[in-house]
Amino acid sequence: MKRHFSIVLALLFLLQAATTFATNNGEHAPIAGSGIIEAKTFTVTAPRIAPPRVLVPLDSFAKTKDPDGDASVEAAVSAEVSATTLASGSASAGPARPATATVSPAGTILAVCVREGDRVRKGDLVAKIDDRLLRLAFYRQIALRSQAKARVLAVDSRIASVEHRQRQVEAGLDEIEENKRELARGKRRLAAARAELDRGFARLRNVEAQLDGRSRGLAELSLLPMTASAPATTATPPGTAPPRAVPDPVTMQRRLAAARAELRRARARLEAGAAMLGRRQARLASAEVQLKRAESRLERAREALSEARGVLATIRRLSAANATAAEVAVNSARVELGKAVLTAPASGTVTGVNARAGEVAFSNQPLVTISQMDLLELVIYLPPDAVRPIQAGDGARISIDTFAGRTFLATVKLVGSKVELAPSDITTERVYLTEVQAVTLTAANKDGALKPGMPADAEIDPR
């Protein structure tokens, strides 16, 4: 008996020594905990769509109640979106009787394209909301943008035309300056010709005076008595010039008459030149007046074109700003239109459908829930002393009562960094109303056996 007791004590000692050795070498016993299987979920909600305001003409509704009278009017359905009403929120029922009717997108669900259990990929169509009014607003904004751009092009064309005319005016002014210089040169040439003509008249008067003197001398000579001519044998003293022969008065008379005729022709030529110079001077004076008038007109045109250029520059800036605003409006309308198409935010399995076609969707209303079932999570809460040896990447095993005898391999994904009170839904005696740390495990679910919401037990093997 004593021998058996000694053997038991030895075994206990050996067991305690082995336990101490394992503890000193970093080995820990499995750490157990419980929790609920969870899946990473994504909820597709109804977007917040800014409702466009639509200008409703008289022919918008098949039957429209007249608010002033109790009459009904027949009309065809043809709504026209107005930019001003989109901004101000007003609407008009027609020019004859201004009745108001506010038409906003009802958020009607046109189609739900998935069912619970369907697998979807990121970007797949999930649901679609009625976008007819949004599409009308989008096309209207595109038309307004085209008009704004056309306005900018038209203003640019007008600016180019004004600039072309400005260049023409500047060229005309340059030509006028050149004509002024040419006119000044013509005036100088005319003055020189006038001076030359005056000198010609002065020489003519001198010649006429000489002829008049000769005429008087000839008249005096004709009154003297005739004397006999010297004998032919009279010798000329040496070294002296022979005496000049006295011309015959008749010959001299003829020469004087010819000279006077030549003087008259010269005077006629001089007078013709003077008349021509007068005409040229008149033409120069007329040209100078025309140049001044043309210069005055071009100066006025230059001022008018400069003013028009400034006005067009202002219009161009406003048109460009309007085109930019129209582009922004188109982009905003495109964004609002895109909100009507709801797509899957991630790949996964549809685990909930909360809407049906024909229902009215309100903003932020959950429509479809998508869960990633391939990789599930299990969050367990453990006391801080038990969490101390656990590290991310440690292996774990998950067991579920539903699958008796089967374990699922898991990995520690995250160890909580703060200590908190155990959540109210944790009822394990060990952690209830105590301070705990959360440990998140991830488990592959390739065969789909695990489902969110299943209670599970986990054992973590610290390294």
- Rg for the chain (alpha carbons), in Å? 60
In 46-82, the DSSP E strands lie at 63-65, 72-74
For the ranges 256-270, 337-351, 358-372, the lowest mean pLDDT is seen at 256-270
For 293-313, how does the pLDDT look when each residue is reduced to its tens digit (9 = 90+)?
999 999 999 999 999 999 999
CA dihedral over 316, 322, 326, 327, signed as positive or negative: positive
Q: Give the single-character DSSP code of 361.
A: P
Burial class of residue 207 in the structure, from the number of CB atoms within 10 Å of its CB (0-12 exposed, 13-18 middle, 19+ buried): middle
pLDDT at residue 240 in the model: 61
How far the first Cα of the chain sits from its last, in Å, is 42
Is the pLDDT at 270 greater than 70? The verdict is: yes
CA dihedral over 16, 20, 21, 25, signed as positive or negative: positive
pLDDT at residue 216 in the model: 76
pLDDT band at 463 (very low <50, low <70, confident <90, very high): confident
242-246: average pLDDT? 56
For 386-402, how does the pLDDT look when each residue is reduced to its tens digit (9 = 90+)?
888 988 999 999 998 88
Q: Give 209-248 as a DSSP string.
A: HHHHHHHHHHHHHHHSPP-PPPPTTPPPPTTSPPPPPPPP
pTM, two decimal places: 0.56
Q: How far apart are CA 315 and CA 266, in angstroms?
A: 71
Work out the number of other CB atoms within 10 angstroms of the CB of residue 266.
16
Do residues 39 and 377 lie in contact, with contact meaning Cβ atoms separated by under 8 Å? yes
Q: How far apart are CA 113 and CA 125, in angstroms?
A: 7
Structure tokens at 288: 């100078």
Q: How far apart are CA 210 and CA 364, in angstroms?
A: 126
Q: State the alpha helices, DSSP H only, in 388-462.
A: none
Report CA dihedral (244, 246, 248, 251) to the nearest 10 degrees: 50
116-140: average pLDDT? 91
pLDDT at residue 221 in the model: 63
pLDDT at residue 237 in the model: 60
Average pLDDT of the residues of the chain = 77
Q: How far apart are CA 144 and CA 86, in angstroms?
A: 12
Q: What are phi and psi of 374, to 5 degrees?
A: -75, -25
Q: What domains can you pick out in the chain, each with its CATH number?
A: 53-103 (no CATH), 144-220+249-335 (1.10.287)
Q: How far apart are CA 426 and CA 261, in angstroms?
A: 149
Report CA dihedral (93, 96, 98, 104) to the nearest 10 degrees: 10
Q: How far apart are CA 292 and CA 304, in angstroms?
A: 18
Q: What are phi and psi of 107, to 5 degrees?
A: 70, 30
Structure tokens at 285: 């004076």
